[in-house]
Amino acid sequence: MKTASTSLPTNRYVLWGHHFTSVAGAAPIVGPAIAVIWGWVPAFLWVVLGTVFFAGVHDFGAIWASVRNKAKSVGALTGDVVGKRARSIFMIVIFLVLLMVNAVFAVVIAGLMMNFSSAVVPVWGAILVALVIGQMIYRRKMSLPMVSIVGVVALYALIGIGPSVPLQMPAEVAGVSGNAIWILLLFGYAAIASLLPVWVLLQPRDYINGLQLFVGLIILYGAILLLNPSMVAPAFNDNVPAGTPSLLPLLFVTIACGAISGFHGLVSSGTTSKQLNKETDARFVGYFGAVGEGMLALAADPRREPPASPASPTGRRCTPPSVRAASTPSSRAVPSSSTTAWACPKPPRRPCSP
């Protein structure tokens, strides 16, 4: 398996962080937030059952199948199992999918840094932290727990420093919009990162980001258990806007990452399998990497009690903005005042006295 810059036998905890962070992007957050339009119960059940019975098994199986076939990616493996023509078609599909994913993430992250200048230092600073962590693990041979603590503390420190050192890209540079400049810089970073040996940047970056994300999940779930918030979104929502697709089969399309996604096969066979230290680590890395993503999807399911509602003139409970947004056709666009404000029923008009 040691045949390329992506091949390196790795500690299974470090590799778990790489796999978890690679598959847990924006999709497991956005999908459940949209799927709540049908109610929180369908989204909850699909994430839980999909993660346990499908996603974990899929990721574990993809890693195992790749390892058993000289760590080939799923595209190359198709040529051996199906045929050369299928391999060529699949490779084209994979290329187009990756192109689309890179484009979407570049646009989203560029917009984030244009709108929130305080995010620039944490985002780009994490790259420097990852470079140092890679040297500490593989060149200095330092203790993994110590390196993990240093990396996580450094990431949270960058988040604290960010608002104090905002870096705002000009609206236009040499006739090119600031947003386009960020997109070009992100594509340049992706190109350079893909050429470096995996231990230099990719693996340590994913590992410390995975730890940071897991710490956040622990805090979030701990807060839910301690505060015991009540549900505000309906369990099953029949009052959906006109033109809304039916629950079946759109639920399984809306929540893919977070339940099961074929994209995970690209990560499992493309990079994870090539870093596996021994075959028995495949279950821990693949299955629990998918479980981590499922936990993120559950945390994103917007069904918990927001701050107390304002008083209603009628004494009836006001409708929180999250529930109103889920039943509004324009809820996927930028929220307006009509979807971010509490909706309180108006008191009935009193008849005029004679």
pLDDT, one tens digit per residue, over 163-194 is 999 988 888 888 889 999 999 999 999 999 98
In this prediction, residue 6 carries a pLDDT of: 61
- 3-state SS class at 173: strand
In this prediction, residue 88 carries a pLDDT of: 92
Question: Computed from CA positions of residues 69, 70, 72, 78, in that sequence, does the dihedral angle turn out positive or negative?
Answer: negative
First to last CA, the chain: 92
Chain centroid to Cα 108, Å, comes to 12
Q: With cut-offs at 50, 70 and 90, classify the pLDDT of residue 332.
A: very low
**Which stretch of 170-179, 239-248, 275-284, 317-326 has the lowest confidence by average pLDDT?**
317-326
In this prediction, residue 350 carries a pLDDT of: 44
Most confident option among 32-46, 131-145, 309-323:
131-145
How far is residue 153's CA from residue 159's CA, in Å, rounded to a whole number? 10
Q: With cut-offs at 50, 70 and 90, classify the pLDDT of residue 22.
A: confident
How far is residue 94's CA from residue 78's CA, in Å, rounded to a whole number? 12
How far is residue 277's CA from residue 289's CA, in Å, rounded to a whole number? 16
How far is residue 38's CA from residue 147's CA, in Å, rounded to a whole number? 44
Task: Using only the alpha carbons of the chain, give its radius of gyration.
Answer: 23
**Position 351 pLDDT exceeds 70:** no
Cβ–Cβ contacts within 10 Å for residue 185, how many? 16
pTM for this one? 0.76
Q: With cut-offs at 50, 70 and 90, classify the pLDDT of residue 152.
A: very high
Pair 289, 19: CB distance under 8 Å: yes
Pair 58, 258: CB distance under 8 Å: no
In this prediction, residue 220 carries a pLDDT of: 87
Mean pLDDT of all residues in 15-23? 89
Q: Is 234 exposed, middle or buried (0-12, 13-18, 19+ CB in 10 A)?
A: middle
Pair 102, 190: CB distance under 8 Å: yes
Q: How many helices (H) and strands (E) does the chain have?
A: 16, 2
In this prediction, residue 305 carries a pLDDT of: 52
In this prediction, residue 5 carries a pLDDT of: 54
The tokens 């929540």 sit on which residue? 255
Tokens standing for residue 87: 């391999």
pLDDT, one tens digit per residue, over 42-58 is 989 999 999 999 999 99
200 contacts: CB under 8 Å, gap ≥ 6: 131, 134
Tokens standing for residue 135: 């040297």
